[in-house]
């Protein structure tokens, strides 16, 4: 391994000078600079990031702590993060959380030396957890999560639930079901609950009292969507439309509708949430969350915070958008659905 000293010797300068050249600090004569660069090239010198990090107190790495990173929505966000980091000199370390233990372990072991900055995704961290992390001096940006005094990128879940429901109300539906994630999950996820609130708001606005038998909960999985929709559809008074708190559950619901021999949207309309790629192919009407954008913006904010700028504890709210496809129609519609399918 070639060290900075060897380069210095080769170029006939001091180690400090080589360092200055590497870091593009001012105060090196063009001549010396050129000579040093040449030595670097001939010796194929690469600075040791560990030594550099130790010396400077930072490690040119940003960490992303994310639950269930293989979920389509998480991946899409990560794609945004990777895009934002491309070109910067920062490496990306992934901290996946699948269990509360993972979460605790990461919170406990995270420190300034493992990452200069941390992107917390979709994980509502407790006050003490955040306090511990902040105490390390790491820059922190929240994505799809929010906490007093911290910069965050969010969307309005309540509004999203409202939009989805309103769309169905506008189409003329009255018996509208809702299916969401378990309200008391071990991670404290609450976006599904907020969307449910939005659902209730829209229902109230329309003067409809939701039938509690049509509001179901279960884990965030496709199969669960199938199951819950099955329950909904086999009841005495099945809904004519279903608001799903995610495209994943919605995809499951669509399966159940098909399995029940019903047509979508003629017999049952479905609205999802997220607009992951699958939604396009399913023709699923859904509330689009700017996933890629949120990851990208979060990473950018973090890079900014790591730069000269002081990290502003600003909350960036990204807009939701209702994407209408073929899964929704007025109740009892008989004609073939029209609209974008691809």
Binding site for a copy of itself (CB under 8 A): 1, 46, 48-51, 53-54, 59, 61, 69-70, 75-76, 78-79, 82, 86, 91-94, 96, 102, 109, 111-114, 136-137, 222, 226, 251, 255, 278, 281, 342
Binding mask 76-105 for DNA (x = CB under 7 A): ------------------------------
Partner that binds at residue 102, options a copy of itself, DNA, none, CB closer than 5 to 8 Å by kind: a copy of itself
Residue 6 tokens read as 């060897």
Partner that binds at residue 232, options DNA, a copy of itself, none, CB closer than 5 to 8 Å by kind: none
Binding mask 24-53 for DNA (x = CB under 7 A): -xxxxx-xxx-----------xxxx--xx-
The DSSP call for residue 44 is T
Does position 137 interact with DNA (CB under 7 A)? The reply is no
**What pairs with residue 64 in β-bridges?**
94, 119
Provide the minimum distance between the beta carbon of 53 and DNA in the complex, in angstroms, as a whole number.
Answer: 8
Q: Which of 19, 71, 240, 286 binds DNA (CB under 7 A)?
A: 19
Q: How far is CA 79 from CA 27, 83, 88, 106, 299, in A?
A: 39, 6, 15, 22, 11
Residue 202 tokens read as 């829209």
User: Phi and psi at residue 64, in whole multiples of 5°?
Assistant: -125, 120
Helices vs strands, H then E, count in the chain: 13, 12
- What is the CA 236 to chain-centroid distance, rounded? 38
Q: Are 24 and 33 in contact (CB under 8 A)?
A: no
- What is the CA 312 to chain-centroid distance, rounded? 20
Does position 56 interact with DNA (CB under 7 A)? The reply is yes
Q: Are 222 and 248 in contact (CB under 8 A)?
A: yes
Provide the minimum distance between the beta carbon of 190 and a copy of itself in the complex, in angstroms, as a whole number.
Answer: 25
Does position 23 interact with DNA (CB under 7 A)? The reply is yes
Q: Are 130 and 141 in contact (CB under 8 A)?
A: no
Residue with Cβ nearer a copy of itself (91 or 312):
91
β-pairing, 321-323 vs 285-288, is: antiparallel
Provide the minimum distance between the beta carbon of 10 and DNA in the complex, in angstroms, as a whole number.
Answer: 12
Residue with Cβ nearer DNA (25 or 341):
25
Partner that binds at residue 12, options a copy of itself, DNA, none, CB closer than 5 to 8 Å by kind: DNA
Provide the minimum distance between the beta carbon of 94 and DNA in the complex, in angstroms, as a whole number.
Answer: 23
Contacts of 12 (CB under 8 A, 6+ apart): 35
Residue 87 tokens read as 């070109």
Question: Distance (Å, rounded) from C-alpha 93 to C-alpha 13?
Answer: 36
Partner that binds at residue 281, options DNA, a copy of itself, none, CB closer than 5 to 8 Å by kind: a copy of itself
Expressed in angstroms, the distance from the first to the final Cα of the chain is 53
Question: Distance (Å, rounded) from C-alpha 177 to C-alpha 174?
Answer: 9
β-pairing, 91-97 vs 61-67, is: parallel
Provide the minimum distance between the beta carbon of 11 and DNA in the complex, in angstroms, as a whole number.
Answer: 8
Residue with Cβ nearer DNA (43 or 82):
43
Partner that binds at residue 267, options a copy of itself, DNA, none, CB closer than 5 to 8 Å by kind: none
Residue with Cβ nearer DNA (22 or 206):
22
Q: How many other CB atoms are there within 10 angstroms of residue 278's CB atom? A: 17
Provide the minimum distance between the beta carbon of 47 and DNA in the complex, in angstroms, as a whole number.
Answer: 4
* Interface positions with DNA (CB under 7 A): 1, 3-5, 12-20, 22-23, 25-29, 31-33, 45-48, 51-52, 54-57
């Amino acid at each position: 391994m070639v060290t900075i000293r060897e380069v210095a010797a080769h170029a006939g300068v001091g180690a400090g000078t080589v360092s200055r050249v590497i870091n593009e600090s001012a105060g090196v004569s063009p001549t010396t600079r050129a000579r040093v660069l040449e030595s670097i090239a001939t010796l194929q010198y690469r600075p040791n990031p560990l030594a550099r990090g130790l010396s400077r107190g930072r490690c040119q790495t940003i960490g992303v702590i994310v639950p269930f990173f293989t979920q389509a929505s998480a991946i899409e966000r990560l794609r945004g993060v990777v895009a934002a980091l491309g070109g910067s000199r920062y490496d990306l370390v992934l901290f996946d959380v699948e269990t509360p233990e993972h979460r605790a372990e990461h919170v406990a072991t995270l420190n300034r030396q493992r990452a200069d900055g941390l992107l917390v995704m979709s994980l509502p961290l407790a006050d003490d957890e955040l306090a511990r992390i902040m105490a390390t001096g790491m820059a922190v940006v929240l994505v799809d999560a929010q906490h007093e005094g911290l910069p965050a990128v969010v969307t309005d879940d309540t509004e999203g639930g409202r939009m989805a429901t309103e769309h169905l109300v506008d189409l003329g539906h009255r018996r509208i079901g809702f299916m969401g994630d378990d309200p008391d999950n071990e991670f404290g996820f609450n976006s599904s609950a907020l969307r449910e609130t939005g659902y209730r708001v829209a229902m109230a606005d329309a003067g409809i009292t939701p039938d509690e038998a049509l509001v179901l909960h279960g884990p965030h999985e496709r199969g669960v969507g199938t199951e819950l929709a099955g329950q909904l559809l086999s009841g005495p008074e099945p809904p004519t439309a279903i608001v799903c708190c995610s495209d994943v559950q919605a995809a499951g619901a669509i399966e159940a509708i098909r399995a029940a021999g019903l047509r979508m949207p003629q017999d049952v309309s479905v609205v999802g949430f997220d607009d992951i790629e699958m939604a396009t192919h399913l023709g699923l009407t859904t509330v689009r969350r700017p996933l890629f954008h949120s990851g990208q913006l979060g990473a950018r904010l973090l890079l900014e915070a790591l730069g000269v700028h002081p990290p502003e504890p600003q909350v960036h709210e990204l807009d939701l958008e209702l994407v209408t496809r073929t899964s929704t129609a007025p109740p009892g519609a008989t004609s073939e659905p029209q609209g974008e399918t691809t």
